[in-house]
Every structure is written in structure tokens, then in C-alpha cells.
Amino acid sequence: MKSITLELTNVYAKGDFTATVYLGSEHNPVNLIIDTGSSTLVVEPNNYQPEQDKKLVATPIVQEVNYGLGGWAGAIVHSQLCFFSSKTENSKTKTNNHSSVGNQKANKALVCDTSIAVVEAEPTKTFGDADGILGLAYHHLNKSFDLTEFYNEKQISPALSLPWPFSIDDKTSANQSADKKTSSEQSLTDNSTQFESLKAFKAFLWQQPEHDIKPLFTQIADQHLVDNRFSFYAKRSSVHVASENISAVSPTAKQIEKLVADPLNQGRLILGGSEAQTELYRGTFKTIKVFHDVYYNVKLHSVQVGNNTPILAQALAPKDEKSYFTNAIIDTGASLTILPHGLFQQVTEQLNEMNPKFAKLLAPFAEINQQYLGIDANQLELTQWPDLTFRFIGENDKSSELVALVCPPSHYWQVNTPEKGKACFKLLSQLPNWPNQSIIGLPLITNYYTVFDRSVNGTGVIRFAQQS
């Protein structure tokens, strides 16, 4: 079975990794965040222009997704999608620069009639400078709603979600939506159904009939384009800035090119990838069980700071078990590792006990916005910081057979970000409105070559091997 290798960069999404895919009849290139923490293929109508897509088929279906930090609502359409593997011979087009398809012809994978969510309301800048998200989780997170009955009741014609028949006034989204409308659609805007917020729109949607959407990777695996697994390889969880006077937060176009060319800001997503990619890892794999096919749900047993006694991770609160299932997920779409309040507090307390100087360095990172500022990297002596060891329930579901994965200080601290000479701490305490569930993001994942093998035992396993 062949594989499809997509080159990644973390520049556009400010730390998260994106791959370029090509949408619609015009092969519009879009940079999408590679996210195992969601399931939807969602895109802003910027580089992808649905009105020019001759393959587009509108539907009555609508989606609304909240990621904990940021969210959106939009229309579901069907169209085609193309992958062009980086292994393509005689290719004249780089995959991550929004260029045209050019002369790429070999190793092309075409996915017909795939579901695409086109954003119509996005109160926050959810995607950074990326164009959207490619969710690689399972169908449970791809909830959508069929509004056919609502359209007929309100005499909305055509009874479709595109053109968009709603107005959502949440923060700036109303103005953003207005900018997208052409004069021919203005009458629809004037008569559109009004919602004061994305939250209110979500409440409305949940009263409508549900519609099941097959996620993109499930679709291509079912079509046997690749095996039912993929692998992820990257070096960092923050953009590496090697030159003075460049900010990863707001680079110019020329600076973006320079950042993208930095090998530390690159990676690979290999659809169908497995142990066969021997050039990317060494040694043997460690395997942990995926317990539920919602997120990539795993069970975190403990976190150990240096040689201290491991800190036991609490089980998920009973009230959240029905929706979140386990106390941890593995999430390539998270540039931070996020721990429940209690676990985060114990980890940072043990760090501070090891060296009183650590507390001053960690204090600014209680706020997520510090990731856009950093601290003076000269204050750090990474040799003084300990490894953090995360232990998970393994493949055999036995607490006596734990799998230890190491996050070294060079990964939970990132230097030369967001500017050269700055540094950022990559652990964060529990998000508002999120359960006591650890989000194991890029700081740990990027220490390994990681294979998400969905073909094993129904829900799958995740394999980790030390990078070459």
C-alpha cells in the first residue's frame, strides 16, 4: 500500500504544523493545521474561493465547532481535494507556500466528494495565519446538523447553507461575514436569521436533526488510498527564529519564507506511514492504547519531575466521562501540553523546589499570551532543568505495564521563540470550560516519531520511537 508524504511547517499557525492540500476544481492551495484533536476539514474562504469551484455541491448542512480556545460556524459543501506527495518527482512546486500546483503530476491522490466546512463566522483568529484545520480524529467529533426543515419553515430559498442564511454578531464575526457578501447576496443578508453570538447559534443547532459526516482520513482509508494509519514527525512546538529582527508573531512575507526554510520549522505527515519510515527513527517503538475513538483518548498514569516520586494523574471527573472518556488525549494540534490544575500545580511546585530561581522564570507563563512575548533566554540554563516523564497505560491495558515517554527540558522550554534570544515555557494549566483532562501536545510528541495506527483493536494504538 502506498503512502502520501506531506511536508509540514509550523510558521503559519504560530507553532502548530500545517500541510498544503488543494481544494476544488481550481486546485486552490490551502494550509491546514494537522490536528488529531478534531475531525473536521474546515477552511476560510480566502485562498479557497467556493464561488469559483466548479466541483462544489452545496448542502443544507451546518457545523459549529469549539476547540476550547476559539471556534467557528460554517456551511458544509462537497467538493474534491488533492494531495501531492513530497516524494513527487520533477516537482517544481513547494508544498507550503500557497503556490499553484504547477507541473506536479506524479504521486497525486484525488479525493472526490469530500465534505468541507466553509467558515462564515469566526469570532477569534482560530487558525492564526493558516487557512483552516485538517482534523484527523474520528467521526464522533464531526457533528453537524441538517437544517432542511428549518429552511423550508422559514421559506429560505435555496434551502442550502451556502449562500449563508445567518447573521452572527459575536464580536467581529458580523463584520467579517459582511465583507464576504457580494452585492447579489445583500438581500439574503438583510433577511437572514440573526444570532447574537456563536454560543446562541450553537444552542439553535443542537435543536436540529444531526447529520453524520465522514472525516477526510477515514474516507481515504476506506477507499484504500493508504493504510488506516498515519505518522507525524516534527522537531519543535514553537517557531524557531534564527535571525535578528524577525518576530514569529508578525513576520513579513520575506521573513515567512526565511522561517519556512529553517529545517527546525519543518516536519512530515505521512498518510499511511508506519514503521517503514526507518530514516525518521531509531530503536524500538513504545505503544500505548487508544481507549476511545472520539479523540485519540489515552490514559495518563503519572508525571515524574526528574527523579522525584511520580505524581499520579487523577481520573476524569465522573460528570465528564460520557463526553471526554479518559483523562488524556494525544493532540498534534496543541502547541502546548496542558495539564489539569492540580497536576500542573504539583509539577511546577516540584520544579520550583529543585531550584528557587525557577519560580521567577515560570511565573509569566501562567498566561497563555506570554507565548507571544517570551522571556530572555539568557536567564535559562537548560542543563539545570530535569526531564519530565509521562507514564501511560500501555497496549495491554495493564497498570503494571506502564509506558514511559520523556519530555526533555529542550522541549518543554523552546528557545529562540517568538524572537531570537527569547524563550517560552510550553506547559499550561487547565483551560477554562475544559475538564480535568490532560492535552498531550507537541512538546512531548516532537521528541518522537509518532504513528497513529487506527487499524488495531477497533480504537487503535499510538506508537512512539526516538527520532533519528
Label residue 246 exposed, middle or buried (CB < 10 Å: 0-12, 13-18, 19+).
buried
Answer yes or no: are the C-beta atoms of 448 and 275 closer than 8 Å. no
User: pLDDT confidence of 1, banded at 50, 70, 90?
Assistant: low
What is the predicted pLDDT for the residue at 178?
37
Residue 175 has pLDDT above 80, yes or no: no
Residue 152 has pLDDT above 90, yes or no: yes
User: Which residues, at least 6 apart from 189, have a Cβ–Cβ distance to it below 8 Å?
Assistant: 167, 177, 178, 181
Mean per-residue pLDDT, 74-100:
65
Give the CATH number of domain 4-222; options: 2.60.120.590, 2.40.10.10, 2.40.70.10, 1.10.3720.10.
2.40.70.10
What does the DSSP 8-state code read for residue 69? S
Most trustworthy range by pLDDT among 79-93, 106-120, 415-429: 415-429
User: pLDDT confidence of 171, banded at 50, 70, 90?
Assistant: low
What is the predicted pLDDT for the residue at 376?
98
Q: Quick one: which of 422, 400, 404 has its CA closest to 413?
A: 422
DSSP assignment of 349-392: HHHHHH-THHHHHHGGGGSGGGGGT-EEGGG--GGGSPPEEEEE
What is the predicted pLDDT for the residue at 183?
31
Q: Quick one: which of 91, 412, 93, 129 has its CA closest to 255?
A: 129
Dihedral sign, Cα of residue 140, residue 297, residue 331, residue 228: negative
pLDDT in tens, 12-61: 999 999 999 999 999 999 999 999 999 999 999 988 999 999 999 999 99
What does the DSSP 8-state code read for residue 169? -
Q: Residue 399 is placed in which grid cell?
A: 497498570
Q: Quick one: which of 216, 211, 218 has its CA closest to 61?
A: 211
What is the predicted pLDDT for the residue at 124?
73
> Higher model confidence: residue 360 or residue 98?
360
CATH of domain 275-467: 2.40.70.10
What is the predicted pLDDT for the residue at 187?
32
- Asked if domains 4-222 and 275-467 share a fold, the reply is yes
User: pLDDT confidence of 87, banded at 50, 70, 90?
Assistant: low
User: pLDDT confidence of 154, banded at 50, 70, 90?
Assistant: very high
Q: Which of 70-84, 172-186, 207-221, 379-393 is the least confident region?
A: 172-186
Work out the percent of the chain whose per-residue pLDDT is above 90. Answer: 80
What is the predicted pLDDT for the residue at 405?
98
Neighbours of 329 (CB within 10 A): 25
Mean per-residue pLDDT, 274-288:
96
Residue 302 has pLDDT above 70, yes or no: yes
> Higher model confidence: residue 86 or residue 364?
364
Q: Residue 11 is placed in which grid cell?
A: 510558521
> Higher model confidence: residue 380 or residue 106?
380
Residue 189 has pLDDT above 60, yes or no: no
What is the predicted pLDDT for the residue at 85?
79
Mean per-residue pLDDT, 432-441:
94
For 1, the 3-state DSSP assignment is coil
User: Which residues, at least 6 apart from 348, have a Cβ–Cβ distance to it below 8 Å?
Assistant: 362, 427
Backbone angles phi, psi at 51, to 5 degrees: -70, -15
User: pLDDT confidence of 274, banded at 50, 70, 90?
Assistant: very high
Work out the percent of the chain whose per-residue pLDDT is above 70. Answer: 90
What is the predicted pLDDT for the residue at 271?
97
- Mean pLDDT for the chain overall: 90
For residue 165, say if its preceding peptide bond is cis, omega within 30 degrees of 0. Answer: no
**Domain layout of the chain by residue ranges:** 4-222, 275-467
CA distance 77 to 74: 10
pLDDT in tens, 365-383: 999 999 999 999 999 999 9
Mean per-residue pLDDT, 161-167:
94
Beta strands (DSSP E) in 44-87 are 57-66, 71-84
pLDDT in tens, 400-418: 899 999 999 999 999 999 9
Neighbours of 55 (CB within 10 A): 15
Q: Residue 325 is placed in which grid cell?
A: 472518556
Answer yes or no: are the C-beta atoms of 101 and 22 closer than 8 Å. yes
Backbone angles phi, psi at 68, to 5 degrees: 90, -50
Label residue 275 exposed, middle or buried (CB < 10 Å: 0-12, 13-18, 19+).
middle
pLDDT in tens, 310-361: 999 999 999 999 999 999 999 999 999 999 999 999 999 999 999 999 999 9
Mean per-residue pLDDT, 134-154:
94
User: Which residues, at least 6 apart from 239, have a Cβ–Cβ distance to it below 8 Å?
Assistant: 10, 11, 14, 15, 248, 259, 265, 417, 418
What is the predicted pLDDT for the residue at 184?
30
